[in-house]
């Protein structure tokens, strides 16, 4: 039971680091969206997403399978894109 | 355009750190699954998941909204649980 508590403590630490990194990533994506806006480029870039996924899968050492990693990052990409959209909507409302 | 390249480089770094942390998390979850197995405890613990989500939302400083963070972590939880199941299936096949 003590071992379970130790592992749960480690899990909470990793969760907290993940939270920080996800938000760091979200801030970068938002900045990329702003630069693309200035340059008149489309926000959604499927080729770039595919490239990122390929790089991640190539670097994946598990325990998560390549498919699980792809699934999770696709979710992260989708939610990030939603973030750009909602910022845009906010801008349009100003 | 140069600024875009710099931001993309930073994004790749964060992706790579996220990959490492997700797999670190997966390894811990697998270990927790093994300990629970030994102790005869159920693998899926909705109360513990809720508690983790509440802690994450309380610590969330954005740019991701609380709902976006909840959505992403629920995906991570689900995929992790799948990992325990597939390990179990492998064990049963031995």
Q: Which CATH number fits domain B2-93: 3.30.930.10, 3.30.70.260, 1.20.59.10, 1.20.1250.20?
A: 1.20.59.10
Q: Greater confidence, B37 or B87?
A: B37
**Distance of residue A53 Cα from the nearest chain B Cα, in angstroms:** 10
Helix axes A2-39, B46-59, angle to 10 degrees: 50
Domain locations along chain B: 2-93
Instruction: Write the CA distances from B29 to A35, A46, A47, A84, B41, integer angstroms.
Output: 39, 32, 33, 32, 14
Task: Give CA–CA dist A25/B10, Å, rounded.
Answer: 9
Residues of A in contact with B90 (CB under 8 A): none
Residue-wise pLDDT tens digits, B18-63: 999 999 999 999 999 999 999 999 988 999 999 999 999 999 999 9
Cβ contact A25:B15 at 8 Å: yes
Residues in chain A with CB shorter than 8 Å from the CB of B60 are 19, 23
Q: How many Cβ atoms sit within 10 Å of the Cβ of residue B32?
A: 22
pLDDT digits (tens, 9 = 90+) for A17-59: 999 999 999 999 999 999 999 999 998 899 999 999 999 999 9
Across chain A, what does the average pLDDT equal? 91
Distance CA B94, CA A91 (A): 58
Q: Is the peptide bond before A63 cis (omega within 30 degrees of 0)?
A: yes
Task: Give the pLDDT confidence of B63-86 residue by residue, as tens digits.
Answer: 999 999 999 999 999 998 877 765
Residue pair A21/B45 in contact (Cβ under 8 Å)? The answer is no
Compute the distance between CA of residue A33 and CA of residue A80 in angstroms, rounded to an integer: 10
CA distance B14 to chain A (A): 6
Which range is least confidently modeled, A2-11, A75-84, B36-45?
A: A75-84
Q: What letter does residue A94 receive in the DSSP assignment? A: -
Could you say which of B7, B29, B68 has the minimum Cβ distance to residue A28?
A: B7
ipTM of the complex: 0.89
Cα B55 → chain centroid: 14
């Amino acid at each position: 039971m003590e071992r379970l508590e130790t592992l749960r403590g480690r899990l909470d630490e990793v969760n907290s680091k993940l939270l920080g990194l996800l938000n760091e990533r979200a801030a970068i994506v938002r900045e990329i969206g702003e630069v693309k806006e200035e340059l008149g480029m489309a926000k959604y870039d499927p080729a770039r997403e595919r490239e990122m996924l390929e790089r991640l899968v190539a670097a994946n050492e598990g325990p998560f399978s390549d498919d699980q990693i792809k699934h999770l990052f696709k979710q992260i990409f989708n939610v990030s894109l939603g973030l750009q959209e909602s910022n845009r909507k906010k801008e349009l409302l100003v």
